[in-house]
């Protein structure tokens, strides 16, 4: 224990007194080694440390989808954008509007925290608190940062395996208005309008969109299902800021989503259900104040976030389903956070923060049939988590960078939880080589469902826990025109939620994941961009007494390869080609009893997108998905779109 105390003192406090003479290299600028005149261009990242830092100083495995890539690929949803990222596996139970989950480094879908302009959008009224990406469009998004590995030290619960941080556009300059519309396969249509700019001390960015499609059959057509399951969504987003003084600025964020979808209850034969409907209304709000004092020595941010997610489901009796059902889920999440960054020297930033978050949920479920009726009423329940964290960032001699953090959380139900993380990196400027490693722990508080549900709940649950580490190398060539990265990772998950013989939730399951992530980025010319990555993920169910012990976790492919090439012609035309290979995965066939494990075959998708600037204010664009009409399944029995094409135009003034 004394050793740990001494180590903590050294990593956090000793730099305050000892390293004031070192000169740091500005984040986000060209990096130069005095001895070799080697130049390396870096990007500025926020998610890894909650401060703006050069990507060269970050040991974490982070990738960025920037505004250029979003524009080039013409994807309508964030879910589709993330398909090209390493370390992520994705599942969708049908076409647009159907349940869409993301798994980071083989972990469960509820183990990735999703942030939207600082708002935690994981659903508080869902059993595993996962985020459903089905209704998150790319409207008004500036960039997406994907952070891998346990991140509870900075982000608390839900960040066992990683964080996906989505940041919307900030208005600047003269007012700009844009309007776009597109249509195509499956009788799909999308209209989008927006306005952004700044005036005096105010900046603003607003957008509104509507999407509608007849869709495909959620239960795959290859099993004889013919009924198309359409969906629609209406989205409004806004980001408004005010620079009150040089040291004080305010930001207001608001997003409202209203969505509807036709679904099927199960995949495979006889899965069609024309009576199954889903409705969503969600509001996400945040107000934040940022203040800088003592000539930038002390920067602080105070924020308040609120999320409300309301979902309704209903279905009636059909020839293959003898029951009808109505259900309602209402979840709320209120969070207050205060972050303080102290720039002790040009090489040492200490961050201290406190947060408190309250979740509330209520639900009603009714099922009726000739055999029996079932009613489950979940009365309003709540839980609060309050946490404090401390992080230290060091730059030693411009070569060695280290981040160390520790966090204490108190949950009003299960008590306290301590997490920590260390992330060192070393750069050899002579060769443009960076060595990096991270080690950390994470936790996930039990959801309100798992704690209080009348049928399945257990108020004595402990949090799920994770321990993870990774180590890797990055090599920079030609002023970052070519970057190669390789990382090995390993995670263990304990006290995962499962069920006992009476279907009560208990901490019983365990799992492991390990693998390799490789990426290659190249833009030798201004007009040419190449992004290629490879992921190998080996997962194992380590639950004692489980029939699946030492078997692969479901729906996580061992191998995933993706690549995209973008070329700009004479600054007016653009062509993007994307290739995604997903290897074999295991799934369960629940159409027979007892359910049996099956193998889903591998598949390759090729997607194209292109645009042409007809006039300065008019752009034509198009997209082809699944160019070769590949037949595949992400979830056994559920459909996926075949060949599809879309055309549109954008007017900007």
Q: What is the pLDDT of residues 105-138, one digit of tens each?
A: 999 999 999 999 999 999 999 999 999 999 999 9
In angstroms, the CA 183 to CA 213 distance is: 9
What per-residue confidence (pLDDT) applies to 225? 96
May I ask the CATH architecture of the domain 2-652? Beta Barrel (2.40)
Burial of 127 (0-12, 13-18, 19+ CB in 10 A): middle
Rounded to an integer, the average pLDDT of 632-649 is: 97
Q: What is the pLDDT of residues 22-80, one digit of tens each?
A: 333 333 444 444 434 455 667 899 999 999 999 999 999 999 999 999 999 999 999 99
Does position 639 have pLDDT exceeding 70, yes or no?
yes
How many other CB atoms sit within 10 Å of the CB of residue 501?
5
**pLDDT tier for residue 545 given thresholds of 50, 70 and 90:** confident
The sign one gets for the Cα dihedral 177, 197, 71, 209 is negative
Does position 211 have pLDDT exceeding 60, yes or no?
yes
What per-residue confidence (pLDDT) applies to 3? 36
Radius of gyration of the chain (CA): 25
In angstroms, the CA 339 to CA 353 distance is: 4
Which one-letter DSSP state was computed for residue 577?
E
Does position 8 have pLDDT exceeding 50, yes or no?
no
Mean pLDDT rounded to a whole number for the chain: 92
210: its two tokens: 């509507």
In angstroms, the CA 16 to CA 458 distance is: 46
What per-residue confidence (pLDDT) applies to 17? 34
Rounded to an integer, the average pLDDT of 74-89 is: 96
List 358's β-bridge partners, or say none. 334, 384
Does position 553 have pLDDT exceeding 60, yes or no?
yes
Rounded to an integer, the average pLDDT of 216-239 is: 96
**pLDDT tier for residue 479 given thresholds of 50, 70 and 90:** confident
Whose tokens are 């959380």? That residue is 409
Q: What is the pLDDT of residues 557-598, one digit of tens each?
A: 999 999 999 999 988 999 999 999 999 999 999 888 888 999
Rounded to an integer, the average pLDDT of 496-506 is: 91
What per-residue confidence (pLDDT) applies to 591? 85
Residues of the chain with pLDDT > 70, as a percent, come to 94
Q: What is the pLDDT of residues 400-453, one digit of tens each?
A: 999 999 999 999 989 999 999 999 999 999 999 999 999 999 999 999 999 999
Q: Is 271 helix (H, G, I), strand (E, B) or coil?
A: coil
What per-residue confidence (pLDDT) applies to 41? 65
How far out from the chain centre does Cα 387 lie? 22
Does position 632 have pLDDT exceeding 70, yes or no?
yes
**3-class secondary structure per residue, 250-263:** EEEEEEEEEEEEEC
Q: What is the pLDDT of residues 127-166, one digit of tens each?
A: 999 999 999 999 999 999 999 999 999 999 999 999 999 9
Does position 18 have pLDDT exceeding 80, yes or no?
no
618: its two tokens: 């008019």
Q: What is the pLDDT of residues 264-310, one digit of tens each?
A: 999 999 999 999 999 999 999 999 999 999 999 999 999 999 999 99
List 308's β-bridge partners, or say none. 283, 332
What per-residue confidence (pLDDT) applies to 42? 74
With b for 16 or more beta-carbon neighbours within 10 A and e for fewer, the 191-220 pattern comes to: ebbbbbbbeeeebbbbbbbebbbbbbbbbb
Rounded to an integer, the average pLDDT of 255-268 is: 96
472: its two tokens: 């890797």
What per-residue confidence (pLDDT) applies to 40? 67
Contact 487, 164 (CB under 8 A): no
What per-residue confidence (pLDDT) applies to 325? 96
Contact 645, 565 (CB under 8 A): no
The sign one gets for the Cα dihedral 68, 71, 75, 79 is positive
What per-residue confidence (pLDDT) applies to 437? 98
**3-class secondary structure per residue, 49-103:** CCCCEEHHHCCCEEEEECHHHHHHHCCCEHHHHHCCCCCEEEEECCCCCCCEEEE
């Amino acid at each position: 224990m004394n050793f740990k105390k001494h180590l903590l003192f050294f990593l956090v406090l000793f730099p305050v007194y000892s390293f004031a003479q070192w000169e740091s290299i500005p984040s986000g600028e060209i990096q130069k080694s005095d001895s070799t005149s080697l130049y390396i261009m870096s990007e500025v990242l926020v998610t890894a440390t909650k401060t703006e830092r050069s990507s060269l100083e970050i040991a974490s495995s982070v990738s960025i989808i920037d505004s250029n890539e979003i524009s080039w690929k013409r994807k309508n949803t964030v879910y589709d954008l993330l398909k090209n990222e390493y370390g992520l596996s994705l599942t969708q139970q049908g076409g647009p509007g159907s349940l869409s989950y993301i798994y980071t480094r083989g972990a469960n879908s509820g183990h990735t925290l999703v942030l939207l302009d600082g708002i935690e959008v994981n659903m508080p009224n869902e059993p595993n608190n996962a985020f459903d990406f089905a209704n998150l469009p790319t409207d008004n998004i500036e960039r997406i940062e994907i952070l891998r590995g346990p991140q509870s030290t900075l982000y608390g619960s839900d960040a066992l395996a990683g964080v996906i941080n989505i940041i919307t556009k900030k208005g600047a300059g003269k007012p700009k208005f844009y309007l776009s519309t597109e249509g195509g396969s499956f009788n799909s249509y999308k209209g989008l309008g927006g306005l952004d700019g700044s005036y005096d001390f105010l900046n603003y960015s607003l957008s509104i969109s509507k999407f509608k499609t007849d869709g495909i059959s959620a239960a795959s057509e290859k099993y004889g299902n013919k009924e198309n399951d359409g969906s629609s969504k209406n989205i409004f987003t806004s980001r408004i800021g005010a620079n009150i003084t040089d040291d004080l600025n305010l930001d207001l964020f608001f997003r409202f989503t209203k969505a509807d979808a036709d679904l099927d209850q199960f995949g495979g034969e006889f899965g069609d259900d024309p009576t199954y409907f889903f409705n969503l209304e969600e509001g996400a709000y945040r107000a934040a104040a940022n203040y800088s004092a003592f000539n930038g020595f002390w920067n602080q941010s105070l924020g308040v976030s609120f999320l409300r997610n309301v979902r309704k489901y209903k279905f009636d009796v059909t020839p293959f389903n003898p029951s009808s059902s109505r259900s309602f889920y209402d979840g709320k999440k209120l969070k207050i956070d205060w972050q303080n960054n102290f720039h002790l020297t040009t090489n040492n930033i200490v961050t201290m923060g406190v947060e408190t978050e309250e979740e509330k949920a209520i639900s009603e479920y009714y099922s009726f049939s000739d055999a029996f009726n079932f009613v489950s009423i979940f009365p309003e329940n709540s839980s609060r988590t309050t946490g404090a964290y401390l992080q230290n960032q060091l730059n030693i001699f411009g070569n060695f960078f280290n981040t160390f953090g520790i966090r204490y959380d108190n949950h009003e139900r299960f008590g306290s939880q301590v997490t920590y993380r260390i992330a060192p990196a070393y750069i050899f400027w002579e060769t443009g080589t960076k060595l990096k490693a991270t080690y950390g722990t994470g936790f996930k508080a039990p959801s309100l469902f798992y704690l209080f549900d009348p049928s399945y709940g257990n108020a004595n649950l402990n949090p799920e826990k994770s321990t993870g580490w990774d180590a890797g190398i990055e090599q920079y060539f030609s002023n970052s025109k070519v970057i190669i990265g390789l990382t090995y990772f390993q995670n263990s998950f304990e006290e995962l939620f499962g069920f006992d013989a009476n279907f009560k939730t208990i901490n019983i399951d365990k799992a492991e994941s390990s693998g390799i992530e490789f990426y290659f980025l190249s833009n030798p010319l201004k007009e040419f961009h190449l992004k290629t990555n490879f992921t190998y993920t080996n997962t194992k169910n380590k639950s004692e007494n489980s029939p699946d012990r030492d078997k692969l976790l479901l729906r996580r492919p061992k191998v995933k390869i993706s690549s995209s090439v973008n070329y700009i012609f004479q600054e007016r035309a653009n062509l993007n080609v994307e290739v995604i290979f997903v290897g074999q995965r295991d799934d369960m066939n629940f159409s027979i009893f007892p359910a049996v494990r099956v193998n889903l075959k591998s598949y390759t998708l090729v997607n194209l997108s292109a645009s042409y600037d007809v006039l300065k204010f008019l752009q034509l664009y198009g997209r082809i998905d699944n160019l070769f009409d590949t037949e595949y399944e992400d979830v056994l029995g559920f459909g996926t779109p075949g060949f599809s094409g879309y055309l549109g135009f954008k007017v900007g003034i």
